[in-house]
Amino acid sequence: MQKKKVEIYWDVGSTNTYFALKLIKPILERHNAELVLHPFNLGYVFRNNNYELMKESKAKLRNRKRDLMRWSEKYNIPFQIPRQFPIKSSRALRGSLAMRRHGLELEFVEAVLSLYWVQGDASIAEYAGLRPIAQSLGVDPDEFERLSVSDEIGVELAASTDKGLERDVFGVPMIIVRDELFWGKDRMEFVEDELRRAG
């Protein structure tokens, strides 16, 4: 039987992407569904829309931080706000596409998210911080970096982001089941309902 497909547009700089990838796993298992990852360069999109997260009101930022800790506590998901935030995420996004060539995209993404959102390790903004992840997954770090910096991967990342914009992706995580879009970590019930309707 062919697996149902759940797509997710993601960026390592998104707290909600970290939570969403944790929360969606049991849903995928219950519905025998396959997760398809699409890197989405959120920084590029923010710049084009003149949006700066850290320029939001201090009250809103304080509330957001407390709300994230509630999610961590409720679902027993380790989490902390890194000291260095935001970071440039394009190298990690490129790296995920390089690791896709080895069938290790999800493992790489999960490791990157864990390093940043659990350990607060901002070194994942640079290839020096990403190389050990590739190596731990059995991929030669020199080969990993050569491919990550290539024009081929750069074009692929731009195309993934542009395709997302064409599909009305305006932020991450954006979860797509068939033609239905669900934005954020708090739409899992709707995602599951759509998977049920998908048969």
Tell me what the mean pLDDT of segment 146-155 comes to: 98
Chain-wide mean pLDDT for the chain? 93
Quote the percentage of the chain above a pLDDT of 90: 83
Q: Which amino acid is at 117?
A: W
Report pLDDT for 48.
Answer: 58
Cα(156)–Cα(146) distance, integer angstroms: 15
Report pLDDT for 64.
Answer: 85
Q: Which amino acid is at 1?
A: M
Domains and CATH numbers, the chain: 4-197 (3.40.30.10)
Answer yes or no: are the C-beta atoms of 87 and 121 closer than 8 Å: no
Cα(147)–Cα(142) distance, integer angstroms: 9
Report pLDDT for 55.
Answer: 63
Q: Is the peptide bond before 132 cis (omega within 30 degrees of 0)?
A: no
More confident call, 63 vs 37: 37
* pLDDT above 70 for 132: yes
Answer yes or no: are the C-beta atoms of 45 and 13 closer than 8 Å: no
Report pLDDT for 43.
Answer: 74
Tell me what the mean pLDDT of segment 130-158 comes to: 98
Using pLDDT thresholds of 50, 70 and 90, give the confidence band for residue 199.
Answer: confident
Instruction: Tell me the pLDDT tens digit for each residue of 44-83.
Output: 665 655 545 556 678 887 888 899 999 999 999 999 999 9
Report pLDDT for 49.
Answer: 56
Using pLDDT thresholds of 50, 70 and 90, give the confidence band for residue 113.
Answer: very high
Decide: helix, strand or coil at residue 3.
coil
Ordered DSSP codes for 42-77: HHHHHHHTT--GGGS-HHHHHHHHHHHHHHHHHHT-
- The 8-class DSSP code of residue 32 comes to T
Decide: helix, strand or coil at residue 113.
helix
Tell me what the mean pLDDT of segment 72-97 comes to: 95
Cα(53)–Cα(172) distance, integer angstroms: 14
0.75 exceeded by the pTM?
yes
Report pLDDT for 50.
Answer: 52
Cα(191)–Cα(127) distance, integer angstroms: 34
Tell me what the mean pLDDT of segment 37-48 comes to: 80
Find, among 20, 12, 10, the residue nearest to 77 by Cα.
20
* pLDDT above 70 for 11: yes
- Residue 25 Cα to chain centre, angstroms: 14
